[in-house]
Amino acid sequence: MTKTSLFLVVTILSRSHADRNVYPSAGVLFVHVLEREHFKGEFPPYPKPGDSSNDPITFNTNLMGYPDRPGWLRYIQRTSHSDGVLYGSPTAEHVGKATIIEITAYNRRTFETARHNLVINIMSTEDYPLPYQAEFFIKNMNVEEMLASEVLGDFLGAVKNVWQPERLNAINITSALDRGGRVPLPINNLKEGVYVMVGADVQFSSCLREVENPHNQLRCSQEMEPVISCDKKFRAQFDIDWCKINLVDITKVVTIHSNRPDPGTGVLPDIGEYNPPSESLKSRDFFADFLITLAVPSAVAMVLFTILGYSMCCRREGVDKRNMQTPDIQLVHHSSIQKSTKELRSMSKNREISWPLSTLPVFSQSGEVVPPIHPDNYETTSMPLMQTQTPRNQLMRGLFSLLSSWYYRAW
């Protein structure tokens, strides 16, 4: 690492101290480390035996008077046993405004809290913004790893070797998860990836321009790695996806002016107590809505009910009217048939005819012999399988056939 790159990294890093002031520059990456070791002295000793140096500590950061941080400032802490990091890139609109960040440390073992204030005073720079900006996607790094001073210094040193600028600064760092990336599987030490944007004051080098040639563009469209001559200077420590590199020359970017008004602060002005305009409101007449909703369906239902009742009650002929329209001889025939039918049914109920033995079961389901229905002295050998019809039964059958044929001939 060269002395110049080491100096740049040191200028953008600061360490956590109680109620301290920091002075980041606009357009330069700002990193502030919240060290757990520093906050351990703020908590009283734990009365029970245990290793107090291994207490789980988490941090909560917010802008004073607000529940969240400013839009340009982000925070990350991977676990409760690792340090927290505040990082971001302030812009020129924040220059001269003191930003007070409240830092609250929570000891998850003793349930104690400690609060410090961090005053961020954003300074302006003469070379802001740097005209040539390049964004790299590093696949084998996480955000907290890339924010470390040694790793970020090594990456800026590698970029300086292939770009050869006079001024080189890290502008911003963004996790791939914030760009819509997926959380990697917990195997083979896979990383989520990180985007690193750097700015310089000279044109892009030929090595960085190689990704724009048609051959490499074709390989990127086929999801193949492009051939970059300076990739070996990064490969030892950084796995860069050259297909996702973004080169921006802000001197050629056309600014599109819109007619939209300037965004406000998001806080409504204090205009006093709210008084609803009750006097200007007119009373609404719901009578028409009542007629449409209830009266009209009720009237239609009443008409249908009247028509149905008239057709079922008033238009019914009845038995008397039917008998008046029927000839007398036909009524006599019908009455005689009904009387004969009732007589035959009453006579059939009084018949006592024993069932043939061939139709009765010999054995029950349990295997026992079923006793005969006739007494022992009854001679069963002479009983035929089918009982002979008696003269009385023959007479009744003949009478029923005669009445049936007479009825059908009459009709």
Look-up of token digits 């107590």: 273
Give the Cα separation of 36 and 114 in Å (integer): 12
For 103-128, how does the pLDDT look when each residue is reduced to its tens digit (9 = 90+)?
999 988 888 888 889 999 988 877 67
pLDDT for res 76:
92
Residue 141 clears pLDDT 70, i.e. is over it = yes
Residue 8 clears pLDDT 80, i.e. is over it = no
Helix (H, G, I), strand (E, B) or coil at 222: coil
Query: What is the CB neighbour count within 10 angstroms for residue 134?
Result: 19
Give the contacts of 35 (CB within 8 A, at least 6 positions apart): 15, 16, 83
Most confident of 7-16, 278-287, 335-344, 361-370: 335-344
Q: What is the mean pLDDT of the chain?
A: 78
pTM over 0.85: no
Among 109-123, 196-210, 276-290, which is the least confidently predicted range? 276-290
Output 228 or 41, whichever has higher pLDDT: 228
Asked if the domains at 13-45+53-125 and 129-254 fall in one CATH topology, the answer is: no
Give the Cα separation of 315 and 324 in Å (integer): 16
Residue 143 clears pLDDT 50, i.e. is over it = yes
- Kindly indicate whether the domain formed by 13-45+53-125 is annotated with CATH number 2.60.40.10: yes
Q: How far is CA 297 from CA 73, 278, 309, 310, in A?
A: 64, 35, 18, 20
Instruction: Give 387's pLDDT tier (boundaries 50, 70, 90).
Output: very low
pLDDT for res 383:
46
> Amino acid identity, residue 364?
S
pLDDT for res 58:
92
Give the Cα separation of 206 and 115 in Å (integer): 50
What would the two tokens of residue 19 be?
């109620």
Instruction: Give 9's pLDDT tier (boundaries 50, 70, 90).
Output: very low
pLDDT for res 298:
92
Mean pLDDT of 167-173: 90
pLDDT for res 398:
66
Of 112, 110, 106, the C-alpha closest to 47 is: 110
pLDDT for res 324:
79
364 by Cβ neighbours in 10 Å (0-12 / 13-18 / 19+) ranks as exposed
Contact between residue 228 and residue 242 where contact means Cβ atoms under 8 Å apart: yes
321 by Cβ neighbours in 10 Å (0-12 / 13-18 / 19+) ranks as exposed
122 by Cβ neighbours in 10 Å (0-12 / 13-18 / 19+) ranks as buried
Q: What is the dihedral sign for C-alpha 196, 201, 206, 209?
A: positive
360 by Cβ neighbours in 10 Å (0-12 / 13-18 / 19+) ranks as exposed
pLDDT for res 126:
74
Q: Where are the domains of the chain?
A: 13-45+53-125, 129-254
Residue 87 clears pLDDT 50, i.e. is over it = yes
pLDDT for res 349:
75
- Kindly indicate whether the domain formed by 129-254 is annotated with CATH number 3.30.70: yes
Instruction: Give 102's pLDDT tier (boundaries 50, 70, 90).
Output: very high
Strand (E) or helix (H) holding 113: strand 113-121
Strand (E) or helix (H) holding 330: helix 328-349
Instruction: Give 2's pLDDT tier (boundaries 50, 70, 90).
Output: very low
Mean pLDDT of 150-167: 90
For 230-269, how does the pLDDT look when each residue is reduced to its tens digit (9 = 90+)?
888 888 889 999 999 999 888 876 555 556 667 666 666 7
Residue 361 clears pLDDT 60, i.e. is over it = no
Radius of gyration of the chain (CA): 51
CA 139, 145, 149: angle at the middle one, nearest 5? 125
- Sheet of 113-121: strands edge to edge? 20-22, 113-121, 98-107, 57-63
